[in-house]
Amino acid sequence: MPGTDDLENSIVKREKLFIELYKKAFPAVAKYVSRMGGSFDDAKDVFHDALIAYYEKVLINSSIADNDIAYLVGTAKNLWLKRYRNTGHNVPLDNVEVAFEDDENMPSSLRLLRFLETAGKKCMELLAGFYYHQQPLAEIAGQFGYSGVRSATVQKYKCLEKVRETIKEKALTYDDFME
């Protein structure tokens, strides 16, 4: 029968483990839950559930402890996704207004515009009509004097290819468009 000292040592070790896991894994879980529309309290609930699941697994199979942070964060993410789906947080995207901020993760509009301009004024107008103003191709065909929708489609493709070629010539990557 284990002594009182062994039991106290075991409790202290377990407390230290939980504190360490909390410090290392909770910030990632809180950030994930926040990005997915949850609150800080939601993050704490999910993390505690994941921590319990983790501890139960460690009692059964000690090999999980080798990658404890990844396992714990993954479990918390899965629990959040399950809770998120079950609570009906799903909102159709047409009802969501998205405000884009100028930050380092957004493409540089000026740089993109310069590459679109390399295709020429007519291409710029055609692409703006189709993508920005969401005009039907039949309307674009009439506006630009094409014989039909098929001709407008082919011209739109050619315009995009001009832009792609310019980007290939300059050997640009996605990172080149970031400010």
β-partners of residue 107 are: 178
pLDDT tier at 150 (50, 70, 90 boundaries)? Answer: very high
- The confidence score (pLDDT) of residue 65 equals 57
- The confidence score (pLDDT) of residue 142 equals 93
Which residues belong to CATH 1.10.10 in the chain? 109-177
Provide mean pLDDT across the span 77-98: 64
Cα-atom radius of gyration of the chain, to the nearest Å? Answer: 27
- The confidence score (pLDDT) of residue 51 equals 85
Q: What is the mean pLDDT of the chain?
A: 76
- The confidence score (pLDDT) of residue 91 equals 45
For residues 157 and 130, is the Cβ–Cβ distance under 8 A? no
pTM value surpassing 0.75: no
pLDDT tier at 105 (50, 70, 90 boundaries)? Answer: very low
Buried residues in 136-167 as b, exposed as e (16+ CB within 10 A): ebeebbeeeebeeeeebeebbeebbebbeebe
pLDDT tier at 106 (50, 70, 90 boundaries)? Answer: very low
How far apart are the C-alpha atoms of 86 and 55, rounded to whole Å? 25
- The confidence score (pLDDT) of residue 3 equals 64
Domain 109-177 indexed as CATH 3.30.70:
no
Q: Which two tokens stand for residue 82?
A: 């399950």
Long-range interactions of 98-102: CB distance < 8 A, separation 24+:
none
